Amino acid sequence: MRAMLLVNPKATTTNRRTRDVLIRALGAAVELTVEETAYRGHAAALASTAHAKGFELVAVLGGDGTINETINGLLNPANGDAARPSLAVIPGGSANVFARALGLPNDPTEATGAVLEALQAGRSRTVGLGEAVWEGGSRYFTFCAGMGYDAEVIRAVEGLRGAGRKATPARYVNTALRHYLQTDKRHAALTITGPGIPAATHVFMAIITNTSPWTYLGGRPVTPTPWSSFETGLDLLGMRRMGMFTMAGLIRQLLDQGRENWPKGRHLVQLHDEAEFTLKAERPVAFQLDGDYLGEREWVTFRSIPNALQVLV
């Protein structure tokens, strides 16, 4: 089997020695080509090339951002009807939400062992993706998207990362608390509409999910939409209030690991297993996909893409 391994050399939880061990292990099982990503968007270009050249497997050693780029490269429509490679994921980032949602170990060495076992057994699963479409662009996502407050926090953390600081769970929490004190809690900008969906207005923030959990704080899952999965349509949790007591009550529910039902509250907007909906904003609003800040948008349409990709698990 011809396989390409895409390595993000800046992945936060691996080092050169670990990467060399993983490369040797994979190279013993497949005909392996190794490529290191060098800039934003490089993983997408490399994955698209692997698809065009007939590779049967593309493996990724990196975080959720690198995985997202890779998937968008694999689904590049320019490759036409050429057989699409399967995907293998080896977590190397700070959160690794997609890998953990697939049931893979969070440790890269253990995850490599799981991938090799799946490869030997010929074991894979088909997963659905989400797609976001906006004026002048579109992009697939694996586990989440967001508009409003959560995307603003990701924007702030990316700024700190650009200054050389690591994206730790503590940094996300501290940034979210600081940003909450500064955010506009009176003028909601978002409206949610969709086929067969009653319009929801005056929404401050919206979390869109393709699986659950939405993210992790270290080892603790955060679950705004507990019924979301790769086998169903998209889910959404929106907030119509941003007061301190409202936020505290919601956070308490999101961190309750024993909860199996949706969060409760009259201020919440909730959608489950939807094929399509659109978020419109009265003013440009921060927007993120899979934890990657993508600027401000005035509208984004979200669609469920069933059975989009084969993943070794």
Q: What is the mean pLDDT of residues 222-237?
A: 97
- Specify the pLDDT at position 174: 86
pLDDT tier, 33 (very low <50, low <70, confident <90, very high otherwise): very high
pLDDT tier, 35 (very low <50, low <70, confident <90, very high otherwise): very high
Name the nearest CA neighbour of 67 among 94, 32, 107, 27: 94
What fold, for 133-307? Answer: Tumour Suppressor Smad4 (2.60.200)
Name the nearest CA neighbour of 238 among 275, 193, 282, 284: 193
As a whole number of angstroms, the distance between CA 224 and CA 222 comes to: 7
pLDDT score of 37 more than 80: yes
Q: What is the pLDDT of residues 215-224, one digit of tens each?
A: 998 889 999 9
Q: What is the pLDDT of residues 250-299, one digit of tens each?
A: 999 999 877 789 999 999 999 999 999 999 999 999 999 999 999 999 99
Q: What is the pLDDT of residues 142-188, one digit of tens each?
A: 999 999 999 999 998 888 877 777 777 788 888 888 878 778 888 99
For 80, 148, 218, 234, 245, the CA distances from 221, given in Å and listed in that order, are 38, 21, 8, 19, 22
Residues 153 and 182: beta-carbon distance below 8 Å: no
- Determine the angle formed by the axes of helices 16-27 and 108-121, rounding to 10 degrees: 10
Which CATH number is 2-122 given?
A: 3.40.50.10330
Decide if 2-122 and 133-307 have a common fold: no
Q: Taking all residues of the chain, what is their mean pLDDT, rounded to a whole number?
A: 93
pLDDT score of 123 more than 90: yes
Q: What is the pLDDT of residues 63-103, one digit of tens each?
A: 999 999 999 999 999 998 789 999 999 999 888 999 999 99
- Specify the pLDDT at position 190: 97
For the chain, domain boundaries: 2-122, 133-307
